[in-house]
Amino acid sequence: MENSVFPQRLPFHPRPPTEESTVIGNTDTVRCWECFWEFWNYETPKVIVVKNHNLGILYRAMQLLILIYFIWYVFIIQKGYQESETGPESSIITKVKGITHSHDKVWDVEEYVKPPEGGSVFSIITRVEVTHSQTLKTCPESMAVPNATCISDSDCIAGKMDMLGNGERTGRCIPHYSGTVKTCEILAWCPVENGGAISDSLGKMAPQFTILIKNSIHFPRFGFSKGNIKDDKNGYLKRCTFNETSDLYCPIFRLGFIAEQAGENFTELAEKGGVIGVIINWNCNLDLPDSACNPRYSFQRLDPKTIQESSGYNYRFAKYFNCNGTNTRILIKAYGIRIDVIVHGQAGKFSLIPTIINLATALTSVGVGSFLCDWILLTFMNKNKVYSTRKFDQISQCWDGNSVPESSIKNCSTQDFSLGDPNGPIQF
């Protein structure tokens, strides 16, 4: 084996680390430790008095505005010291009284109030268009229906029912009631509405109708309940009407008064109908006596009267009877004033938790002025970095235990340092 042609493997000797690699490794370790210990440093604000009146006026003005906002708006207007509850539990009962007449009949409450249950939404009929003696038979379709006019029978398809029409087409083209135009014949309640309707107004006495609105509210969080009717057993409601000053707890309103308060002309409103909201608002401060919690009424037109296509209010109903063995009905298109009674409310009572939260927020917000002024000082007034040098400082611990600015440290083991008067602010 001494003459083997394979080369002999030399023993491996690891290369000793050089001085350069050792320094790099030590430097990385030192930096990691510096970052670690930097995290545990303590930061504290430093007071610097800047002799600049413009900046000082801005600072005090911002503090004043913030204080005014919290004192006047948050605590006085919004009552930030109270716990509040909105949307009370509410019940509404209504009752209408009054009679009126048209040219051929007298109308009482049972006829002109719909529905009669006395809920929060009801309507009072002020004008009607009546189509008398409708029976099931054939007659011309109304000209107001799209594609109802025709020239020949071929224009009218038998059995077709138009969803905007009044009945089923028979397939015949016949003269309309006026005799000058032809429309398709239909099987329906005839005569159709536009062919024989008679208009009748109930608006003469309607402004004198009285409406009683009974409302009771309850705030479950505070266990507080109240109603809008005066507790009087001497027949108070029989001789009073609503007056915001003298009879606030007499919720009996005249229909004309409601229309007037909503800014409407009653005659025009009765002609086309409309929707008026009666809004009752209970804003109760329960830190005060119960007598300070009173309802406030407002009235507003709810349907958009400026848009002709969607303004007004009307609906249809019919009265059926048998005449000589034939089923007959009277179709009534009623125009009226719909009343929507809407109740809003909010109650508040002193609570320690919202008071502490809003006080803490106010005190914290005062610091916004310091932040803004510091930004102006360091951004626009920091010539030659004079302010930033004094604003940000670091204090290091010397070996002899004295704390001095790092910018002054040259040799902690041999020199003494002093910051001047430690109790006084630094002034510019």
Report the pLDDT value the prediction gives residue 238, as an integer from 0 to 100.
Answer: 86
Identify the band that residue 50 occupies on the pLDDT scale cut at 50, 70 and 90: confident
Pair 167, 111 in one domain: no
The whole domain housing 75 covers: 48-81+351-387
The answer to whether position 396 is within a domain reads no
Q: Is the pLDDT of residue 407 over 60?
A: no
Q: Is the pLDDT of residue 99 over 50?
A: yes
Mean pLDDT of 87-101: 93
Report the pLDDT value the prediction gives residue 14, as an integer from 0 to 100.
Answer: 54
More confident call, 169 vs 196: 169
Pair 183, 299 in one domain: no
Residue 56 near residue 381 (C-beta atoms within 8 A): no
Flag whether 114 is marked binding: no
The position carrying tokens 């708006």 is 73
Q: Is the pLDDT of residue 117 over 50?
A: yes
The answer to whether position 65 is within a domain reads yes
Identify the band that residue 4 occupies on the pLDDT scale cut at 50, 70 and 90: very low
Pair 74, 130 in one domain: no
Residue 295 near residue 281 (C-beta atoms within 8 A): yes
Pair 186, 96 in one domain: no
Q: Is 0.75 topped by the overall pTM? A: no
More confident call, 186 vs 6: 186
Flag whether 272 is marked binding: no
Mean pLDDT of 221-241: 88
Mean pLDDT of 379-386: 72
Identify the band that residue 176 occupies on the pLDDT scale cut at 50, 70 and 90: confident
Min mean pLDDT across 252-266, 371-385, 391-405 is at 391-405
Q: Is the pLDDT of residue 104 over 70?
A: yes
Pair 205, 240 in one domain: yes
Beta-carbon contacts of 170 under 8 Å, excluding residues fewer than 6 positions away, are 138, 156, 158, 184, 185, 186, 187
Flag whether 305 is marked binding: no
Q: Is the pLDDT of residue 184 over 80?
A: yes
Pair 102, 174 in one domain: no
> Which residue spans within 70-157 are E strands per DSSP?
82-86, 89-97, 100-101, 106-107, 113-114, 121-140
Pair 228, 264 in one domain: yes
Pair 288, 361 in one domain: no
Flag whether 94 is marked binding: no
Min mean pLDDT across 14-23, 62-71, 74-83, 374-383 is at 14-23
Euclidean distance between CA atoms 220 and 258, whole angstroms: 31
The answer to whether position 395 is within a domain reads no
Flag whether 319 is marked binding: no
The answer to whether position 313 is within a domain reads yes
Euclidean distance between CA atoms 99 and 258, whole angstroms: 18
Mean pLDDT of 12-31: 60
At 362, which CATH number? Answer: 1.10.287.940
Residue 395 near residue 408 (C-beta atoms within 8 A): no
Identify the band that residue 5 occupies on the pLDDT scale cut at 50, 70 and 90: very low
Q: Is the pLDDT of residue 426 over 70?
A: no
Flag whether 214 is marked binding: no
The answer to whether position 408 is within a domain reads no
Number of domains in the chain: 3
Identify the band that residue 19 occupies on the pLDDT scale cut at 50, 70 and 90: low
The answer to whether position 398 is within a domain reads no
Flag whether 109 is marked binding: no
Residue 428 near residue 48 (C-beta atoms within 8 A): yes
Q: Provide the mean pLDDT of the chain.
A: 83
Pair 342, 228 in one domain: yes
Could you tell me the CA-to-CA distances from 187 to 66, 130, 275 in Å, in that order? 76, 20, 35
Q: Is the pLDDT of residue 157 over 70?
A: yes
Domain boundary among 191, 209, 226: 191
Flag whether 314 is marked binding: yes
Report the pLDDT value the prediction gives residue 23, as an integer from 0 to 100.
Answer: 53
Most confident region among 33-47, 267-281, 298-312 by mean pLDDT: 267-281
The answer to whether position 202 is within a domain reads yes
Pair 95, 238 in one domain: yes
Report the pLDDT value the prediction gives residue 417, as an integer from 0 to 100.
Answer: 37
Phi, psi of 309 (to 5 degrees): -70, -25
The answer to whether position 201 is within a domain reads yes
Identify the band that residue 306 occupies on the pLDDT scale cut at 50, 70 and 90: confident
Mean pLDDT of 229-234: 81
More confident call, 232 vs 199: 199
Report the pLDDT value the prediction gives residue 204, as an integer from 0 to 100.
Answer: 83
Pair 176, 269 in one domain: no
Pair 218, 232 in one domain: yes
Mean pLDDT of 210-219: 96
The position carrying tokens 């429309």 is 183
Report the pLDDT value the prediction gives residue 394, as an integer from 0 to 100.
Answer: 67
Residue 163 amino acid letter = M
